[in-house]
Amino acid sequence: MIDIHCHILPGIDHDGPVTHQQSLDMARIAAGDGIHTVIATPHLTQHGLSSQEIRQLADVMNFEFRSSGIPLTILPGAEVVATLEPETLSTFTLNGGGYILLEFSLGMSSESLVESVYELCLAGFRPIIAHAERLPRIQRSPALVAELIASGALVQITAESLTGNMGAEARTCARFLLRQRHVHFLATDAHSDVRRRPILSEGLMVASSIIGDVSAECLVLQNPAAVIQGKGLNA
């Protein structure tokens, strides 16, 4: 499986792993769950964080994984604030392709959500809405997702939302979006080896029960592979 949203790089996110050992522990959990590739997506909120720093740290961790016998590969990316300028975003795409993982503020209006997606598509990006099921605006009005998709957005939900670990509202919204076929990616949004761990399989089982095995596997295999390769999704 491929995880396109994972805070696995050490010492960057305030709520992510602090040490290299914690990142190694996360990598072991991910590999044990059947994940072979993750895109590192640190929050692009810290002043001065560069895409080069992300790539360099990913290279360091990949070396440490290989040295430790952990069959996991990190690719560079970021979880970027949707209000940043396109020229800034261009260096923080997922694995250097056209896809970008967007984090929207909790209080952002429906109109601003749609406008941001539309403008980024005009700028040549393929925006992916991070953890859409956890946005209060979408929880209150999940039909908004159809409008966002029509504007060019793709949708990522969190595996732990499907299992209920993110609360009842996120669980209900995630399952509704799946039933409406409004989900393109299932990811961990993992932050540590203890809480919010890099596990996809449990959420995948829930997704399979809702939309079937073939469609569910597409969310963790074919669609993420297209992102890594910079190709369009088949569906």
Q: What pLDDT digit, counting tens, does each position of 143-153 carry?
A: 889 999 998 99
- What does CATH list as the number for 2-229? 3.20.20.140
Q: Which residues neighbour 222 within 8 Å (Cβ) at sequence distance 6 or greater?
A: 233, 234
pLDDT band at residue 48 using 50, 70 and 90 as cut-offs? low
Q: What pLDDT digit, counting tens, does each position of 141-199 carry?
A: 888 899 999 989 999 999 999 999 999 999 999 999 999 999 999 999 999 999 899 99
- In this prediction the pTM is 0.94
pLDDT at 41: 96
Q: Do residues 100 and 126 lie in contact, with contact meaning Cβ atoms separated by under 8 Å?
A: yes
Torsion of the alpha carbons at 123, 139, 106 and 108, rounded to the nearest 10? 50
pLDDT band at residue 49 using 50, 70 and 90 as cut-offs? confident
Q: What pLDDT digit, counting tens, does each position of 85-124 carry?
A: 777 788 899 999 999 999 987 777 778 788 888 888 888 9
